């Protein structure tokens, strides 16, 4: 099996090794490389240098503030009054952010807002001393086509700006479709291009060669493959607009736990693969007020059909807040149209304790094995207040809590410590007794379907299908 390794493209290096360059006149910058390829047919070198003037070096000091622990990434100017956009992972956990522009000037940057979910950070500097620097122009990422020529500009390895050409390979992809991208990241969508970038290009712009407009922001690449991924410009601009006003992203909330159903799960439970299966509706939520029930299948949201190509998570997180939208569901084999008022998801800040093991080590559990998948599970009623707070488990949640995951067979990355198993083969469970009874009833069947949801919302709720084997249950108390 070929393992795919994708890197989020920030790059850490010591300022003792590489200092921010005084670039002088960008037109004669000796550190700048131009890879002509076929770009000379569309853009003369002077125009490429002008594009480079919109790109900055983002230099980030670690929390201890020492100069020998600094990371360098890229960013680009988006307004004349000094707004700069880069990746969230470039500035994450930093106390100090500095900007070096292409004319050699350096600035202390203010962090205006951050969106960890989509990996975007908005910075602000005073550009009064650099009046000749101009912001980028945004293009319409919805209109780009496969094979369109693009140019990625950035500061790889902190050694100077480069302009690298390539082509669009794919648009409107989902990062959850890319193996091993990183389970803590769930980007809404991406543009894939065959641009050979390096560490430090993170946060740099992806220009459309024709028209010289930004159609994406570089955020990840596959080392040695010449493949990179960019956040589409249309999504990026929406994020920027909210970060300017709120400093964070307002995400919509319907109050449902649901997921797309893989074909093998749907064949066991429903006999069909269309739609989005609703496993749980929160109390006093917009969905409950609208009459949506457990077991409904959502076919359409705000006049958009739910299918395998659409990013349902992004759609549900970005509905118009405080607006009434139509939703089409299927219940008991019949289609119904319903109206639902969208609310704002209150993403309250919670101070998580660092040592998860210390929190859960004394919780009584039972160890269950399902065809090589070893799970240590606990009833929610046995969880402490600190554990419930850390993993955002509310009074509405039901099921059993996962303390440990081990597998001697296939990878089941959807089954995570801190997640809840709330259904087994379509049967809702409230505790370990229910779970064991449900597993007992699966004997002789082709598969076990677990409905796993993550209260932290790091991952969407998912159906996990496990080929049936011999289930073993072992009682354990106060040990780990």
Domain end among 344, 370, 393: 344
User: How far apart are alpha carbons 427 and 431 in whole angstroms?
Assistant: 12
Please give the share of the chain, as a percent, with pLDDT higher than 90.
Answer: 22
DSSP output for 249-284: ---EE--EEEEE--HHHHHHHTS---SEEEEEE-TT
The sign of the torsion formed by the CA atoms of 320, 326, 327, 331 equals: positive
Residue 456 belongs to a domain with what CATH number?
2.30.42.60
pLDDT digits (tens, 9 = 90+) for 49-78: 778 888 999 988 765 555 434 567 899 999
Residues 52 and 123 in one domain: yes
Q: How far apart are the first and last CA of the chain?
A: 33
Query: Which H or E run contains 400?
Result: strand 400-407
| In a domain? residue 135 | yes
The tokens describing 443, both together, are 């004997």
pLDDT at 479: 25
CATH number, domain of 306, equals 2.30.42.10
Is 477 or 457 the better-scoring residue by pLDDT?
Answer: 457
Residue 351 domain flag: no
CB atoms closer than 10 angstroms to residue 2 = 4
Q: Which of 16-20, 68-72, 432-436, 438-442 has the lowest mean pLDDT?
A: 16-20
Domain stops at, among 249, 276, 295: 249
Query: How many Å apart are CA 398 and CA 424, to the nearest integer?
Result: 13
Query: Does residue 454 share a domain with residue 413?
Result: yes
pLDDT tens for 188-214 read 678 999 988 877 888 999 998 876 799
Co-location of 198 and 303 in the same domain: no
187 and 283 housed in the same domain: no
Residue 30: the pLDDT is 32
| Residue 463, in any domain of the structure | yes
Both 288 and 333 in a single domain? yes
- In angstroms, the CA 183 to CA 458 distance is 8
Q: Are residues 245 and 261 in the same domain?
A: no
Whether residue 69 is contained in a domain is answered as yes
CB-based contact 416:382 (threshold 8 Å):
no
Q: Tally the C-alpha atoms within 13 A of residue 270's C-alpha that lie toward its C-beta.
A: 23
Averaged pLDDT for residues 220-226? 82
191 and 99 assigned to the same domain: yes
Tell me which of 13-22, 77-86, 214-223 is least confident: 13-22
- Please report which residue ranges of 84-202 form alpha helices under DSSP H: 88-91
Report pLDDT digits (tens) over 392-412.
788 878 899 988 876 544 445
Query: Which of the two residues, 46 and 108, has the higher pLDDT score?
Result: 108
Q: 149 lies in a domain? A: yes
Phi-psi domain of 185 (left: phi exceeds 0; alpha: psi -120 through 50; beta: other): beta
**Beta strands 373-379; 400-407: pairing state:** antiparallel
Residue 349 domain-assigned (yes or no): no
The rounded mean pLDDT for the chain is 75
- CB atoms near residue 39 (< 10 Å): 20
Q: State CA 419 to chain mean position distance.
A: 18
Q: Which of 95-99, 135-139, 314-318, 319-323 has the highest mean pLDDT?
A: 135-139
Helix (H, G, I), strand (E, B), or coil: what is residue 173? strand
The C-alpha R_g of the chain, in whole angstroms, comes to: 25
Give the pLDDT confidence score for residue 182 in this predicted structure: 44
In this structure, are 239 and 258 located in the same domain?
Answer: no
- Please count the structural domains in the chain: 3
CATH number at residue 43: 2.40.10.120
Considering the domain architecture, whether residues 372 and 450 belong to the same structural domain is answered as yes
Confidence of residue 461 (pLDDT cuts 50, 70, 90): confident
HSE (side-chain half, CA atoms, 13 Å) at 445: 19
Question: pLDDT confidence of 148, banded at 50, 70, 90?
Answer: very high
Would you list the DSSP string of 339-352? EEE-EE--------
142 & 288 share domain = no
CA distance 203 to 222: 16
* pLDDT tops 80 at residue 224: no
Residue 361 to residue 357: CA distance in whole angstroms: 6
Total-model pTM? 0.59
Q: Which two tokens stand for residue 345?
A: 């998801």
Strand partners, 108: 98
Each residue's pLDDT tens digit, 18-45? 333 333 333 333 334 444 444 444 444 5
What distance in Å separates the CA atoms of residue 86 and residue 74, rounded to the nearest whole number?
7
Domain boundary among 344, 373, 404: 344
Q: Which residues pair with 300 in a beta bridge?
A: 305, 328
What average pLDDT score do residues 9-20 get? 36
Place of tokens 């050694």: 159
Tokens encoding 221: 């690449």
Is 287 a member of any domain?
Answer: yes
pLDDT in tens, 325-374: 999 998 888 889 999 999 887 543 333 333 455 677 778 888 888 876 77
Mean pLDDT in residue range 379-398: 84
Asked if 144 and 261 sit in the same domain, the reply is: no
Within-domain flag for 350: no
* Burial group, residue 477, by CB count within 10 angstroms (0-12, 13-18, 19+): exposed
Assign 3-class secondary structure to 46-87: HHHHHHHCCEEEEEEECCCCCCCCEEEEEEEECCCCCEEEEC
- Please tell me whether residues 172 and 232 are part of one structural domain: yes
- The confidence band for 443, taking pLDDT boundaries of 50, 70 and 90, is confident
Domain range holding 245?
1-249
178: pLDDT strictly greater than 60: no
Return the active site residues. Answer: 89, 119, 202
């Amino acid at each position: 099996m070929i393992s795919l390794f994708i890197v989020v493209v920030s790059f850490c290096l010591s300022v003792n090794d590489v200092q921010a360059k005084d670039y002088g006149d960008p037109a004669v910058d000796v550190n700048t490389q131009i890879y002509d390829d076929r770009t000379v047919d569309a853009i003369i070198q002077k125009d490429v240098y002008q594009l480079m003037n919109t790109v900055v070096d983002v230099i980030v000091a670690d929390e201890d503030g020492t100069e020998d622990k600094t990371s360098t990434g890229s960013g680009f100017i988006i307004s004349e009054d000094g707004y700069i956009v880069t990746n969230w992972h470039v500035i994450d956990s930093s106390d100090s952010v500095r900007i070096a522009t292409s004319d050699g000037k350096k600035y202390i940057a203010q962090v205006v807002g951050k969106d960890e979910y989509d990996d975007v950070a908005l910075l602000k500097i005073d550009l009064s001393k650099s009046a000749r620097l101009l912001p980028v122009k945004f293009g319409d990422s919805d209109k780009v086509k496969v094979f369109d020529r693009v140019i990625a500009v950035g500061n790889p390895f902190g050694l100077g700006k480069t302009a690298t050409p390539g082509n669009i390979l794919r648009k409107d992809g989902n990062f959850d479709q890319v193996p091993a991208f990183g389970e803590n990241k769930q980007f809404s969508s991406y543009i894939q291009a065959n641009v050979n970038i390096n560490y430090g290009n993170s946060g740099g712009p992806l220009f459309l060669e024709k028209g010289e407009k930004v159609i994406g922001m570089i955020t990840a690449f596959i080392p040695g493959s010449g493949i990179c991924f960019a956040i589409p410009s249309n999504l990026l601009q929406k994020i920027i607009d909210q970060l300017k006003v709120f400093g964070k992203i307002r995400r919509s909330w319907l109050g449902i736990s649901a997921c797309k159903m893989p074909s093998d799960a749907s064949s066991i439970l429903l006999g069909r693969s269309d739609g989005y299966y609703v496993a749980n509706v929160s109390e006093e939520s917009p969905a409950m007020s609208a009459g949506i029930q457990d077991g409904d299948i959502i076919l359409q949201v705000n006049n958009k059909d739910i299918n395998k190509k659409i990013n349902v998570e992004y759609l549900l997180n970005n509905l118009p807040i405080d607006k009434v939208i139509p939703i089409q569901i299927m219940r008991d084999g019949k289609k119904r149209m319903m109206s639902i008022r969208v609310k704002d998801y209150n993403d309250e800040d919670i101070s998580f304790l660092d040592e998860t093991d210390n929190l859960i080590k004394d919780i009584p559990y039972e160890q269950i094995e399902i065809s090589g998948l070893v799970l240590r599970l606990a009833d929610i009623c046995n969880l402490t207040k600190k554990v419930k707070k850390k993993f955002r488990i509310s009074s509405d949640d039901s099921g059993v809590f996962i303390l440990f995951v081990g597998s001697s067979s296939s990878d089941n990355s959807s089954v995570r410590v801190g997640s809840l198993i709330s259904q087994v083969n379509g049967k809702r469970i409230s505790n370990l007794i229910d779970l064991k009874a449900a597993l007992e009833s699966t004997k002789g069947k082709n598969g076990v379907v677990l409905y796993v949801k993550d209260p932290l919302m790091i991952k969407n709720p998912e159906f996990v299908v496990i080929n049936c084997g011999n289930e073993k249950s072992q009682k354990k108390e106060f040990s780990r």
